[in-house]
A and B are shown apart, each in its own frame.
Chain A
């Protein structure tokens, strides 16, 4: 058993394809592992016996058999293909992806009991490649958060130290992979929601170029920033999953896919490649341990033949400010559909429609979601639009130009993924601004729409914890995923892979 769970996805898929191990055996080993979840990583697991029939009218009852086939968006969701690059591989799915007939909450009370009538494109691509859904993972409500403490279903615990957060918003997916509860997981990243929890949990997290993977069926937080990506144990698995997930989707006008697809990386050295280190990093607030790991990793890059170059990202420091205008603005509009009329929670009003809206949304949304809805509504209001939303878009353009300028000289930009290691549960819940600073190094890439990966760089000590993972972030130009994965693969070989 144990050695089955030690295999990477690429290894397991190859053995299943070769008949060396049985898909059933492999799948049930993972279902059994997932069943031991004591991290609160899962909100729903495949072993649950409940019906997979879609809940058409949101009343918690399944529709009559056969109706599931009527939708053009797929019959009952997870019917994995018999063959394919992921045949027999179970994958954990962040609960932000719709799965037909399977509860999908986005970590919110407002969607408690909601079972979607259709399945997200990303999940369908995985099942079409032979994967099956192992479970739906916990997350910050509507992907808003950096610690997973904003979930309506309780926080997720970090497998390295259960008194600490796993990061967020895809905390459940990161903890599941790091904690040996899933071989790989799907997450989403809007300002760092894949990379930061990957860093805090010591695994690989990839945020692809905006448009590389379809967003159809990914419950929207900030539409111009949201992007789907994999959590894996190593870079090869990240490449394997990206290869399956990427592609233009007729159901997502903003999707383009990656030309030429993705191959598994094989590069062993970094010679001839230039890595840009932002000079602004020197002034940044960084944990000492994180800085030490970053510097050691930079030294490893040079040992592998890579060249380190200082670059400037002069506008990156305004990234957080711009991000916390743009993302809430889009969220205020995206989350307006949760009004109690058609699905999900409805708290009836005694008086009128407005009261029903107010009570439903007051009861259904958590504090951080309400905060961002109000921020975003304000930023888009008549008379304030130019000063906030308009100005933030200008900053966004400047940041993208900074990266363009940098990539004229270097192949990659490198930074720590997160300014700190995993912090203790409750440490930042009373200080939203301190929480937002977790995204300092990840937000600029999101604003620029470029791909970035977090790989485990090493460990640092923190008060009360001797060994917590530190992430190392590598960013590449738009659609430069193949090159990014090759470099990350070479570096990973010398840094080593570890598990909690």
Chain B
């Protein structure tokens, strides 16, 4: 190992270097090169024709909708769109590949360099999906199977393959970025991006190198991890394997690995020597893709505000913290609602407070009951305003919210009045006497508080809250307790 010249010296930290290859199945009406409808879960071999079964003499005709979708993805990822791109044939024999070549793109992809978040995109290109092979036998793997069956329903479904630069530095970061990508593509409306059904598939190229080095180590490719959790666990397992291997003086071999999420084991699918020579050459049955200015404009105009942009805007314009901004931006429907509430609240509360209500209390209230319905922006804004101006305590506000989502009742002031939830002021003596009674009923807690155990105050606060049915302001109750205990 060139980096480790002295066995007695401290071992430098090995930095993770990760790049992703993501396959996105496009939700077009027909397959990439024929008129069959793509399908998931239908009776095998019911969505096929001479073209996608590669009968002799057939020719591919590109799906224009798939090209438009690829342009959208490319633009959403900030990619340079190629004025002219071409298809290549990738040749290999396998029963899931009926032509024995996959029509893909090679040196001139439809989408060139781009960026999503901090991660650079190398390229995004169009290709067709393979059919599905089913190995009959107990293992479900080819090795011990008695027969193999092929279902061509999936064969020829349009795919966009997105390739990143090796910019990711950890398993969690990779999974997090993959979620952002999924959300971005989902919001474009071009794919179901469902990892379990395989409409989103993630492979990872993983290597390690000494911290501070700019060279790339030998990478391995992790295949088809079908959930974000498995992406993270698979990469973690592979990083650990590589670090241990190098730590023990070994070297990483270039190979393709399969991660088994059940056992956590990594098994080699093929080594570098077994790698295919795909004999790429330009597909002579197709002409170049030359998007017209109108197609480009249409794709540009159709782009919604995407998660990364929205997150940045919420941080800079609305002062949300990053986690909160990203949470909202990941759900455009909720984000739109949030913005409507912010507008309705006006000056009476910070957007940050509105975000807490929308992502916290409201989400919890909606989850609490099946019949719960989200209120209009206006009543929620009224409620947030009422809490902010201390007309109602936060706890009381949650009770109002429960009524808003349950009954569709929209008059917040009336609910507060009707339910007697108006916040108790500190000046009329009523709250002070309830506090005094609570202290008296729990002398042990009072003694602990006096002797410096701050946590003990919770018991007395709880008693007060029960007595006041949440109408008291927690801060005020705290203040009164300490005052009455002479602290």
The 5 A-B pairs with the shortest beta carbon distances in the complex, nearest first, are A336-B100, A224-B284, A380-B279, A223-B284, A219-B56
Q: Which residues of B contact A218 (CB under 8 A)?
A: 57
A97→B98 contact, CB < 8 A: no
The residue of chain A having its C-beta at the shortest distance from the C-beta of B60 within the complex is A253
Interface presence of B49 (CB below 8 A): yes
A223 to B281, CA, bound (A): 12
Interface presence of A389 (CB below 8 A): yes
A127 to B265, CA, bound (A): 61
The residue of chain A having its C-beta at the shortest distance from the C-beta of B285 within the complex is A223
Looking at A114, A215, A332, A337, the one whose CB has the most chain B CB atoms below 10 A away is A337
Interface presence of B150 (CB below 8 A): yes
A453 to B196, CA, bound (A): 58
Interface presence of B433 (CB below 8 A): no
Contact A339-B57, Cβ < 8 Å, known A224-B284, A381-B279 = no
A118→B55 contact, CB < 8 A: yes
Minimum C-beta distance from A337 to chain B (A): 5
Q: Which residues of B contact A251 (CB under 8 A)?
A: 59, 61
A177 to B62, CA, bound (A): 38
Interface hit among B88-96, B305-313, B397-405: B88-96
A-B contact sample (16 more), CB < 8 A, given A98-B55, A253-B285: A71-B49, A117-B50, A117-B55, A120-B57, A252-B59, A252-B61, A336-B91, A337-B98, A337-B99, A338-B56, A339-B93, A342-B53, A342-B98, A353-B148, A357-B93, A389-B281
Q: Which residues of A contact B91 (CB under 8 A)?
A: 332-333, 336, 380
Name the one of A104, A215, A250, A336 contacting B61, with C-beta atoms under 8 angstroms.
A250
Minimum C-beta distance from B448 to chain A (A): 76
Q: Which residues of chain A from 96 to 126 have any CB-CB distance to chain B below 8 Å in the complex?
A: 96-98, 104, 106, 111, 114, 116-118, 120
A343→B55 contact, CB < 8 A: yes
A445 to B58, CA, bound (A): 25
A336 to B54, CA, bound (A): 10
Hey, what's the 0/1 contact readout for A227-252 against B, CB within 8 Å counting as 1? 00000000000000000000000111
Name the one of A224, A253, A341, A380 contacting B95, with C-beta atoms under 8 angstroms.
A341
A72→B49 contact, CB < 8 A: yes
Q: Which residues of chain B from 105 to 154 have any CB-CB distance to chain A below 8 Å in the complex?
A: 148, 150
A217 to B56, CA, bound (A): 7
Interface presence of A330 (CB below 8 A): yes
The residue of chain B having its C-beta at the shortest distance from the C-beta of A344 within the complex is B56
A341 to B285, CA, bound (A): 23
Q: Which residues of A contact B58 (CB under 8 A)?
A: 118, 216-217
Interface presence of B277 (CB below 8 A): yes
A462 to B329, CA, bound (A): 84
Interface presence of B261 (CB below 8 A): no
Interface presence of A254 (CB below 8 A): yes
What is the interface size of chain A, counting residues whose CB is below 8 A from a CB of the partner?
47
A216→B55 contact, CB < 8 A: no
Contact A219-B57, Cβ < 8 Å, known A71-B49, A72-B35, A339-B100 = yes
Hey, what's the 0/1 contact readout for A333-363 against B, CB within 8 Å counting as 1? 1001111011100000000010001000000
Interface presence of A220 (CB below 8 A): yes
Contact A333-B57, Cβ < 8 Å, known A72-B35, A254-B285, A339-B100 = no
Minimum C-beta distance from A160 to chain B (A): 32
Interface presence of B228 (CB below 8 A): no
Q: Which residues of B contact A329 (CB under 8 A)?
A: 281
Interface presence of B230 (CB below 8 A): no
A219 to B58, CA, bound (A): 7
**A interface, over-half SS:** loop
28 contacts across the A-B interface (CB closer than 8 A): A73-B50, A98-B55, A98-B56, A98-B57, A104-B56, A106-B56, A116-B50, A116-B56, A118-B50, A218-B57, A220-B57, A220-B285, A223-B285, A251-B59, A253-B62, A253-B285, A254-B287, A330-B284, A333-B89, A337-B54, A337-B99, A337-B100, A339-B100, A341-B98, A343-B55, A380-B280, A385-B281, A389-B281
Minimum C-beta distance from B298 to chain A (A): 22
B286→A253 contact, CB < 8 A: yes
A288 to B287, CA, bound (A): 44
Minimum C-beta distance from B94 to chain A (A): 8
Minimum C-beta distance from B439 to chain A (A): 82
A284 to B424, CA, bound (A): 111
The residue of chain B having its C-beta at the shortest distance from the C-beta of A352 within the complex is B142
Q: Which residues of chain B from 33 to 77 have any CB-CB distance to chain A below 8 Å in the complex?
A: 35, 49-50, 53-62
A218 to B55, CA, bound (A): 11
Q: Which residues of B contact A357 (CB under 8 A)?
A: 93
Interface presence of B101 (CB below 8 A): yes
B57→A216 contact, CB < 8 A: yes
A338 to B98, CA, bound (A): 9
The residue of chain B having its C-beta at the shortest distance from the C-beta of A116 within the complex is B55
B59→A215 contact, CB < 8 A: yes
The residue of chain A having its C-beta at the shortest distance from the C-beta of B89 within the complex is A333
The residue of chain B having its C-beta at the shortest distance from the C-beta of A335 within the complex is B100
Minimum C-beta distance from A74 to chain B (A): 11
B150→A341 contact, CB < 8 A: yes
A253 to B288, CA, bound (A): 10
B281→A380 contact, CB < 8 A: yes
B57→A116 contact, CB < 8 A: yes
A254 to B284, CA, bound (A): 8
Interface presence of A51 (CB below 8 A): no
Minimum C-beta distance from B51 to chain A (A): 8
A338 to B61, CA, bound (A): 21
Q: Which residues of B contact A96 (CB under 8 A)?
A: 57
B279→A377 contact, CB < 8 A: yes
Interface presence of A382 (CB below 8 A): yes
Hey, what's the 0/1 contact readout for B288-299 against A, CB within 8 Å counting as 1? 000000000000
The residue of chain B having its C-beta at the shortest distance from the C-beta of A117 within the complex is B50
Q: Which residues of B contact A215 (CB under 8 A)?
A: 59
Minimum C-beta distance from A19 to chain B (A): 37
A333 to B92, CA, bound (A): 9
A336→B57 contact, CB < 8 A: no
The residue of chain A having its C-beta at the shortest distance from the C-beta of B50 within the complex is A118
A253→B100 contact, CB < 8 A: no
